[in-house]
Structure 1
């Protein structure tokens, strides 16, 4: 029997609500990528305030149960029993760690984009295009909206690869990647350059050209690495 919406009674509202939303996904047999009701609708159905819903959804996102796409809505995540989860106590990474992060991405993301060139659905390609449209609107200033759109672009490519572990891995690196975005997008020329590279990657995906997609992704990430080095920090030693 389906767990029908009703007022949550326990003291830890967000934890209880997270469990209720998870059961709702299972009982309605919702699949990865299916849209959940809006935050306001969930708040009304479960008799809680919208901030409580947001807190519960953030907890579920850490587990991969839901995927919060800013400006688009909340969707069922790729895995309700994830292999990898984000560290909820993770702080801002140091410069040395950021450089190691980009080196790891250079090893991982070309594989993601090659698989995405073969496996991405038309809906996923459209979602990538929508993210780049949002990024273009935010180019004039280094706003959080630009960083989120750029991060979403890379995460969506990992999702489109069809490999759950690669997708979860990019999700788990989210906090560190946000810090990286804030550093490398500090000037308008860099923002425009990286946006153009994202567009080129998308064109390769639309053309179903894995080799071109890999080359463009690797070039892009090597540029990000160089931007981090150029930003300068005593924690980064390229030798």
Structure 2
């Protein structure tokens, strides 16, 4: 059975800030059931000693868990892991970007989302929204042509498609998942700059997606989005773990 003292923060990503690393360690203990719903967390002093950090760091980590609805304070008793409830938000460990395998899992999750988003965008997009998608794709090409990485424009391209669904929940969910992909996109675009064929491939995928949406073809748009995500997984899979700081 994993104990608090058996999970030193030194085993976590050295690129993360101390509160992030302690938060991730506590999350791991909660998710693996070492501290199940209803369990009391160790005292602030004990956690500070076990992790070798200040009590201020522990307070911040616990505060983050509280804000996520994962733990709660009980007057005069301590901090407890909350039982499941409707107001507990879905979350992804912020250290996901430190692992190629974890990023691949996020892309896998995003694959179905992007597929449905593209299909709905093809059905519902307005002329103005289509112009926004086109402008974002043109911005990717312009940025790359002048030596940029095109990351911001790429994010804007996919976000514009999500907006074109007319469903604000798709846009919010895309924003949530997209934040974990920026680091990987930056690295893969650096590789694309070195490999002209790969860069062209990515642009072709974006153009195919745009053309299907412009044609109002939900099936083609869904297929193009899915193909783009499959290829994105392959590109991320070529990365060395060290490239993402893992």
Instruction: Please indicate the TM-score interval, normalised by the length of the shorter structure.
Output: 0.5 to 0.7
1:98-139 C-alpha deviation (Å, 9 max, x unpaired): 111110111211000000000111001000111111111122
Match of 1:120 among 125, 128, 138: 125
Corresponding residue for residue 201 of structure 1: 209
More moved, 93-102 vs 220-229: 93-102
Instruction: Note closer, same or farther for the CA distance 1:216–1:129 as it changes in structure 2 (3 Å cut).
Output: same
Unaligned stretches of 5+ residues in structure 1: 1-83
CA distance in 2, matches of 1:104, 1:220: 13
CA contact (8 A) 1:159 1:167 kept: yes
Q: TM-score, normalised by structure 1?
A: 0.57
- Residue 93 of structure 1 aligns to a residue whose secondary structure is helix
CA distance in 2, matches of 1:209, 1:152: 22
Q: How is 1:65-84 mapped onto 2 (pairs within 5 angstroms)?
A: none
Give 1:175 deviation, angstroms: 2.2
Corresponding residue for residue 140 of structure 2: 135
Corresponding residue for residue 164 of structure 2: 160
Instruction: Note closer, same or farther for the CA distance 1:85–1:133 as it changes in structure 2 (3 Å cut).
Output: farther
CA contact (8 A) 2:212 2:218 kept: yes
Q: What is the total number of aligned residue pairs between the two structures? A: 152
Unaligned stretches of 5+ residues in structure 2: 1-88
Instruction: Note closer, same or farther for the CA distance 1:90–1:231 as it changes in structure 2 (3 Å cut).
Output: closer
Give 1:182 deviation, angstroms: 1.0
Higher helix share: 2
1:144-181 C-alpha deviation (Å, 9 max, x unpaired): 5x001111111111111112211101111232121121
CA contact (8 A) 1:128 1:156 kept: yes
CA contact (8 A) 1:158 1:166 kept: yes
CA contact (8 A) 2:96 2:102 kept: no
Corresponding residue for residue 171 of structure 1: 175
Larger radius of gyration: 2
Match of 1:213 among 177, 198, 221: 221
CA distance in 1, matches of 2:207, 2:90: 29
Which of 1 and 2 has higher RCO (CA within 8 Å, sep 6+)?
Answer: 2
